[in-house]
A and B are shown apart, each in its own frame.
Chain A
Amino acid sequence: MASDTSTRPAPPEPIQAVPVRHPGRWVAAAVIAVLAAMFVHMLVTNPVFQWGFMFDNMFSSGVLRGARTTLVMTVLAMLLGILFGIVVAVMRLSPNPIVAGASWAYVWFFRAIPRIVLLFFCANLGALYATYELGFPFDRQLMDLFGFSSDLRFLGLDGNEIFSGFFAGLLGLVLSEAAYMAEIVRAGIQSVDPGQTEAASALGMSRGKTLRRIVLPQAMRVIGPPTGNETIAMLKDTSLLLAVPVTTELNFQLRAIGSRTFQIIPMAVASILWYLALTSLLMVAQHFIEKRFSRGFGGRETRQQRAEREARSVGSTH
């Protein structure tokens, strides 16, 4: 390239003009710099922060186990919430008004209830019935009607046992998340061109296959970003599990150390740093997942196509 420039005509003279000054920007930058310096100064000089104590305690075994519980709960609640949400969304689009109405009612109900209230309720389902049994609906009433005195139940679980801790927390979060995911999935499905469904039908694909293979993968492009936001919100909402309570969860563990040692601020800061780190981790994961589902939309080449294009261009110039 460098040798080429000598043979080309000299480039035209670039414009030499006095640029517009922006004094407002400089003032704003100065103000922000001063505020930032004051903030750092406070972090360093205020003895209440107890940085040494915080770093000694924010990676204790209980806290690490808490971080694991928080992550596992987030992943499980989102996976189940997404699956259940897809079911509710597909029901909402059903031509049957009762199925669609049930779906609407579900979303209306669970979106209206604060998560902490729902979690508290789920934690106390053991008080509603002592045992939870699986069996034929209205079995006792029906058996009475026909003159028998038995029932038709095969599985019984102790209510106080199953609706405690982790399971109660998961139940509450999934029920709530499914309502939000249902709306996100529905918007995604409706964003796909109806011509896609027609083309799949014309090829003889069933409704289920069309949904799974054609509509949902394209809907994912619309569903992806809000689902990422939901996941990040879910990670933070696991701190609401103190309403159940789930004592192995991250924030609970950090607070417990703070209350025990009366070092409230250092452990609150530790909590902030933990959630900041975990959320950042999820944002990175979100970036890669969104990239995966934008296939065929961004005009990006696949590796194979690039190889082919380069092979073609090499072939044409030599």
Chain B
Amino acid sequence: MSTVTNGNAVDAAPVRPMVKAEAVRKSFGSTEVLKGIDLEVAPREVMCVVGPSGSGKSTFLRCVNHLEKIDSGRLSVDGRLVGYREKGGKLHELKESEVAAQRRDIGMVFQRFNLFPHMTALENVTEAPVQVKGLKKDACRDLGAALLERVGLGNRIHSYPNQLSGGQQQRVAIARALAMEPKLMLFDEPTSALDPELVGEVLDVMRGLAESGMTMLVVTHEMGFAREVGDTLVFMDDGAVVEAGSPKQVLTDPQHERTRAFLSKVL
């Protein structure tokens, strides 16, 4: 499988990729979910990953911030191996605290939001800056309020998650991830658990984020979003990358039979 870069990144060939996966493999028991993934995400690139359920796209995303350990291959974020350190030609597992430090730079948004239900929207957003970065609570209040304002929830900062709609909860989750000022944002089917009329507000926030230059890796079923916002579209099936390229090209002129079959079902 050839590596994929978007139009911008081709000109600036020496730019270090934000995410680089080489022959990444992962099994759960005897089931191989990732069968050698090669991918590159350039800084400021928005890569959308689509594919049928069970194709391994969510697992790959979880590997990027070490929520799952890969079995073989190499996976690095911003030039640093995920979960390991290379010393004298040997890999050493990172300590828990070092893994935590790596994850600080990688924001993640989950399908089921995973907001902290015992905290208000504002507390959800400020929790990590206060507890992880050790910032002052008062300083974070303004940061948190500004971030919630940015996702359009400036008037709901004292609401608890169960008082918010799904779309509002997911926007809080995005603000929470942004509070750590990540270099890379991972989205794991961020709109799949939402009622159809709430999908748009979340995609709008993501679109704004992409326009601000955030590097994003998005697992999604929203083909419209992938076409409009994505720089690259990757189609995965059965644990492998089947096809990758510009969204327009993949969506209008798929090269593989499996891509065609999938797209005919979802478009």
Complex contacts, B102 vs chain A, CB 8 Å: 204
A199 touches B114 (CB 8 A): yes
Are B67 and A205 in contact (CB-based, < 8 A)? Answer: no
Partner of B131, one of A196, A202, A213: A213
Is A196 a contact partner of B116 (Cβ separation < 8 A)? yes
B116 near A205 with CB under 8 A, answer no
Contacting residue for A204 out of B104, B115, B160, B162, CB 8 A: B104
A296–B117 touching, CB < 8 Å:
yes
Check B163–A305 contact: CB distance below 8 A.
yes
- Chain B minimum-CB-distance residue to A312: B155
Name the interface size band of chain B.
35 or more
Q: With the chains together, A308 CA to B162 CA distance in Å?
A: 17
- In the complex, B101 has a CB within 8 A of chain A: yes
User: Within 8 Å of chain A (Cβ to Cβ): is B91?
Assistant: no
Contact with A along B24-35 (1 / 0, CB 8 A): 000000000000
Q: Which residues from B are CB-within-8-Å of A205?
A: 100, 128, 131-132
The interface residues of chain B lying within 8 Å CB-to-CB of A304 are 158
Q: Which residues of chain B are within 8 angstroms of A305 by Cβ–Cβ distance?
A: 158-159, 163
Q: Is B112 an interface residue (CB 8 A)?
A: yes
A198 interface residue (CB < 8 Å to B)? yes
Q: Mark A170-199, 1 if CB is under 8 A from B, else 0.
A: 000000000000000000000001011011
Q: Is A251 an interface residue (CB 8 A)?
A: no
Contact of A213 with B127 in the complex, beta carbons under 8 Å: yes
Q: Is A202 a contact partner of B65 (Cβ separation < 8 A)?
A: yes
B160–A296 touching, CB < 8 Å: yes
C-alpha spacing A296/B106, complex, angstroms: 27
Q: Within 8 Å of chain A (Cβ to Cβ): is B177? A: yes
Cβ-based interface call for A316 (8 A): no
B159: nearest chain-A partner, CB-CB: A305
Check A217 for interface membership: any CB of B closer than 8 A: yes
Interface positions of B from 88 to 133, Cβ below 8 Å from A: 96-97, 100-104, 106-108, 110, 112, 114-120, 127-128, 131-132
Does B176 reach chain A (CB closer than 8 Å)?
yes
B180 within 8 A of A: yes
Q: Is B36 an interface residue (CB 8 A)?
A: no
Q: Which of A195, A196, A206 meets B96, CB within 8 Å?
A: A206
A296–B162 contact, CB under 8 A?
yes
- The reply on A134 being an interface residue by CB < 8 A is no
List, in ascending order, chain A residues with CB within 8 A of B155's CB.
308
Closest residue of chain B to A199 (Cβ to Cβ) is B114
Q: Interface readout for A220-264 with B: 1 if CB under 8 Å, 0 if not?
A: 000000000000000000000000000000000000000000000
The A interface, classified by DSSP as helix, strand, loop or mixed, is: helix
Name the contact of B110 in the complex, choosing from A198, A206, A218, A297 (C-beta under 8 A).
A198
Q: How far is the CA of A201 from the CA of B101 in the complex (A)?
A: 10
Compute how far the CA of A308 lies from the CA of B97 in the bound complex, rounded to whole angstroms: 41
CB of A304 to closest CB in B, whole Å: 5
| A217 CB contacts on chain B under 8 angstroms | 118
Specify which chain B residues have a CB less than 8 angstroms from the CB of A17 in the assembled complex.
none
Complex Cα distance, B96 from A207, in Å, reads 8
Cβ-defined contact, A203 with B104, below 8 A: yes
Please name all residues of chain A whose beta carbon is closer than 8 Å to the beta carbon of B97 when the two chains form the complex.
Answer: 206
State whether the Cβ of A302 lies closer than 8 Å to any Cβ in chain B: yes
Q: Give CA–CA (A296, B114) in the complex, Å.
A: 14
B103 touches A299 (CB 8 A): no
Decide if A209 is an interface residue (CB 8 Å cutoff).
yes
Q: Is A291 an interface residue (CB 8 A)?
A: no
Interface: B161 (CB within 8 A): yes
Q: Is the CB of B101 within 8 A of A204?
A: yes
CA distance A308 to B67 in the complex (A): 39
Which residues 158-187 in B have Cβ within 8 Å of A in the complex?
Answer: 158-163, 173, 176-177, 180
Q: How far is the CB of A264 from chain B (nearest CB, A)?
A: 51
Q: In the bound complex, what is the Cα–Cα distance between A297 and B116 (angstroms)?
A: 11
Say yes or no: B162 contacts A299, CB within 8 Å. yes
Residues of chain A within 8 A of B114, CB atoms compared: 193, 195-196, 198-199
Query: Are A203 and B163 CB-contacts (below 8 A) given A196-B114, A296-B118?
Result: no
If A196-B116, A207-B96 touch, whether A202 touches B106 (CB-CB below 8 Å) is yes
- Does any Cβ of B come within 8 Å of A295's Cβ? yes
Contacts of B132 in A (CB 8 A): 203-205, 209
Interchain CB contact under 8 A, B180 and A204: yes
Docked CA distance A55–B100 (Å): 64
User: Which of these, B131, B173, B177, contacts A209 with CB under 8 Å?
Assistant: B131
Asked if A198 and B67 make an inter-chain contact with CB atoms under 8 angstroms apart, the answer reads: yes
Task: Give Cα A27 to B65, complex, Å.
Answer: 70
B154 → chain A closest CB, angstroms: 12
The answer on a CB contact under 8 Å between B159 and A201 is no
How far, in angstroms, from A106 to B189 measured CA to CA in the complex?
44
Query: In whole angstroms, how far apart are the Cα atoms of A163 and B236 in the complex?
Result: 68
- Chain A residues with Cβ below 8 Å from B65 are 202
Residues of chain A contacted by B180 (CB below 8 angstroms): 203-204
Q: Which residues of A contact B112 (CB under 8 A)?
A: 195
A214 interface hit (Cβ, 8 Å): yes
Chain A positions within 8 Å of B158 at CB level: 302, 304-305, 308
A-B contact pairs, 9 of them (CB 8 A): A195-B114, A199-B173, A201-B100, A202-B106, A204-B102, A213-B127, A295-B160, A296-B161, A297-B162
Of all A-B residue pairs in the complex, the 10 with the closest CB atoms, nearest first, are A204-B104, A199-B114, A203-B128, A296-B160, A202-B108, A195-B114, A204-B103, A296-B117, A296-B118, A204-B100
